[in-house]
Structure 1
Amino acid sequence: MIKKIICKDIEKSFKGDGTKTLALQRTNLILEKGEFTAIIGPSGSGKSTLLSLIGTLDRPTSGTISYDKENIYAKRKNHIADLRFQEIGFIFQQFQLLPTLTSLENVLTPMFARKVPYNKVQRAKEVLDQVGLKDKLHSLPSQLSGGQQQRVAIARAIVHKPSWLLADEPTGNLDSETGENIFNLLKALHKEESCGVLFVTHDPILATKANRIITMKDGEVISDKVGLPL
């Protein structure tokens, strides 16, 4: 269980066409497991880059990221992959569901090649019920609304009981009412699953409902404020 994520002097740059682009300038953050944190800022401000580094989907150019006291990028790739599976759940704007698989099968995909100390199918059914899709176990993504597809994606993100949920624009492809419902679901899961939540959003109204609000601009954290109490 990861109680604390520590980012120390992390930077991320990209090279192309003979130029170097600094996507994330030197950043220092400490994230606590009990928090429900929003990262907000304009397009290109470094929000998604920061999220991908924290979730080990990409490596920083410099600096360290530690899960509790463990510098994760000092570990071997297979160890990082195992740690990601055990401790992190991802939710994306585009849902990323496999179109030929049912809701139940999509939720099961993270566990196909993994040993877990519980019944995989039963756990998948439980989380689909938890997100309000008990009657959609055998539906294909094409048979679901956008909000329902995102609920399947959320169920997939929590099925392995992660310490942290990382969500990149989870309401970005949804209408305002559906987006608010998805946001409220994330807040409920934060309490029910006892997981930390870190989400990227362009929506300033949603951001104000978090208990911590990190604002970014031009690859820098320009503000880190306390939001609403949980």
Structure 2
Amino acid sequence: DNEPRSLVLKRPSNTAPSAVSWADLRRRLRTMRRLCACAVLPILLLLLLLLLLQATALPRMVLKPRLPFEIEWRVPVGCDFSGFFVEVVCGFIPALQSLARVVLLTGECDETFLDNSLTTREAAAYRRSWRKEGKRSAEQTARSVVLEHGDPCLMRSFSQKNRPLWIIARAMSEGRLSADHLECLKRADEIWVPTDWHIKTFFAAGVPPSKLISMPEIVDVE
């Protein structure tokens, strides 16, 4: 039999059968393989790129999305090496700037202090974030997550119209929580304390446990 061989592909009953030669079928299969290879190659390259990013010493902030709101951190102390100032300016602010725009409301530092007393990273973080509190508008604060750091009764009071998105109190106590501080903390949506001991102490004083978050102080491991 010298007639060319052909393959008949079955189709649904409502269509007429058609003949496809072996050569045509092989061409179609080769085309499909090329298309699959073209689709898989970009995926493999993307996976390789992600592996390289994780394996290199690139800052991890490259892979972190920025928050869609500002963080306004208020520390009502002067520019010195007080515990509150060091914790925020030398700890939390540099760490948070990779995640969001941070606005620091605290005492103004002169350039001599920044250049001679802080590290280059800490001074740069202060310069990027510091704002004079009186220049900050109520509308800007209302669009921010606000942290009130220190004495709970020095927290600002906000009207319902200008209330921030969320109010966090950063507070601590060396003993029992006073009745005045307990009352002032009611203005906060969330309360950050440095240890589990503080959580137990604040809870025993009457703070709802749903508001309490253990947020240890920043430690520089470098």
Q: TM-score, normalised by structure 1?
A: 0.29
Structure with higher Rg: it is: 2
Q: TM-score, normalised by structure 2?
A: 0.30
Structure with higher helix content: 2
Larger relative contact order, structure 1 or 2 (CA cutoff 8 Å, min sep 6): 1
